[in-house]
Structures are given as C-alpha cells and as structure tokens.
C-alpha cells in the first residue's frame, strides 16, 4: 500500500471515524454508565491495547528511556481540560455538536509564529480553514450549544488553548521515537486523571 495513501487518506479517515464514533458510544452507554466512568474505561482499555501493540509490533517500552515524561506532559495538555467540556457536550447535545469546542484550534495551531516550524499557513490553507468553520456552523445549526454559561465557555477556551499547546509540545518533543509506547504513556496518564474530569458545574448536583 502506498505510504502516501496511508498518511494522507487512511490515517486521517481512521482518526475522524474514531472521534466521530466516540460520541455515539458515549450516548449509547449513558443509561448504564456515567460519562466519567465511560471516559476512564475507554482510556484504560486503550492503554492496555497500546501496551500490547507496542510490545508486539514496536521496540520495547524501555525505548522511551527518560523521554516518557514528555509524552505524559503532552497527554496532560491535550486531554487534561478538554474532556470535561466534551463529556458535558456528549451528555446533552446532538451529534453535530461533537467536536465543535475545538473550532478555533487549527487556527491557533497554525497561526504565524506558533507552529513548530514557525511556518504560517498559505492563503489557500486559511481559506480552507475558513470553509471548515463555515461547514461546522452549518452542521451545528442554530441549536443552543451545551453548557452555555461563563464557566462552560471558559472551560472550553481553556481546553482549546491547552490542546493547542499540547499539540505543539508533542510535535516538538515527541515527534520521533516509539509512537505506540509513547501513546500508551499518554493514555495511562489520561486514565489516571479521568475521575477528576467531572465538570465543575455538576459538582454541586
């Protein structure tokens, strides 16, 4: 199979499918399991699967050496805050809302001077990102967004900023090396913090 086909088509398609289907799984499991428990279970299962895959397909886990903290930091930044908003959204919103809290993120990641190579987007890329935003707005429509409160908005913005920082951190410090083993570290880090992901506006209820 041509590497370009894998890198440009199959991997992005798999990524989009996994993220899209996550909402369906959470919604289907809501009657039987809380979103927090669902999140913790998903991360725990992913950790086990990644460890098995890393052992079977890649170099031993020790190949990470003293670089594993970088993967843990990237995991904490990329999913330390955002799952709280996402859980809230999956609990109360329609499917099209899934992923919308990340709307400005590609713009943040690609802003001039912020990218890992400090390379700005070309004009056509900015046009594409603009069309992406317009398309998402059409999908979401005029239905109210979940958690329309100042706390929810701040959490969403914080999650986007943290994820953008995590993306750039990953690109700079984790881009090379054992990806499977590194992602097992990331997933373990998320699984350990998932019970703390209860949205603050629900703590009093």
Partner 1 sequence: MGLFGYMLRSRTAGVVSSNFYVIPGPTAVLAWLVLGETLTPTAVAGFFLSSIGVWLAQREAPSP
Closest CA to 18 of 55, 44, 46: 46
192/201 with CB nearer partner 1: 192
Query: What is the closest distance, in whole angstroms, from the C-beta atom of residue 76 to partner 1 in the complex?
Result: 12
14/59 with CB nearer partner 1: 14
Query: What is the closest distance, in whole angstroms, from the C-beta atom of residue 154 to partner 1 in the complex?
Result: 20
Q: How far apart are CA 144 and CA 94, in angstroms?
A: 10
26/36 with CB nearer partner 1: 26
Q: How far apart are CA 31 and CA 21, in angstroms?
A: 17
Query: What is the closest distance, in whole angstroms, from the C-beta atom of residue 195 to partner 1 in the complex?
Result: 19
15/154 with CB nearer partner 1: 15
Query: What is the closest distance, in whole angstroms, from the C-beta atom of residue 203 to partner 1 in the complex?
Result: 27
């Amino acid at each position: 199979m041509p590497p370009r086909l894998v890198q440009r088509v199959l991997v992005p398609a798999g990524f989009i499918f996994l993220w899209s289907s996550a909402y369906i799984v959470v919604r289907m499991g809501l009657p039987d399991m809380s979103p927090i428990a669902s999140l913790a279970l998903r991360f725990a299962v992913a950790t086990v699967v990644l460890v098995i895959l890393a052992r079977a397909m890649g170099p031993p886990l020790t190949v990470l050496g003293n670089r594993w903290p970088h993967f843990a930091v990237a995991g904490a930044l990329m999913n330390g805050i955002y799952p709280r908003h996402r859980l809230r959204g999956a609990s109360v919103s329609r499917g099209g809302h899934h992923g919308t809290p990340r709307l400005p993120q590609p713009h943040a990641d690609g802003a001039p001077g912020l990218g890992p190579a400090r390379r700005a987007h070309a004009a056509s890329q900015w046009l594409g990102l603009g069309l992406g935003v317009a398309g998402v707005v059409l999908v979401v429509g005029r239905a109210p967004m979940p958690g329309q409160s100042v706390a929810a908005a701040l959490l969403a913005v914080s999650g986007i900023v943290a994820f953008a920082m995590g993306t750039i951190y990953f690109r700079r410090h984790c881009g090379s090396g054992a990806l499977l083993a590194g992602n097992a570290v990331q997933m373990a880090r998320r699984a350990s913090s998932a019970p703390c992901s209860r949205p603050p506006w629900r703590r009093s209820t």
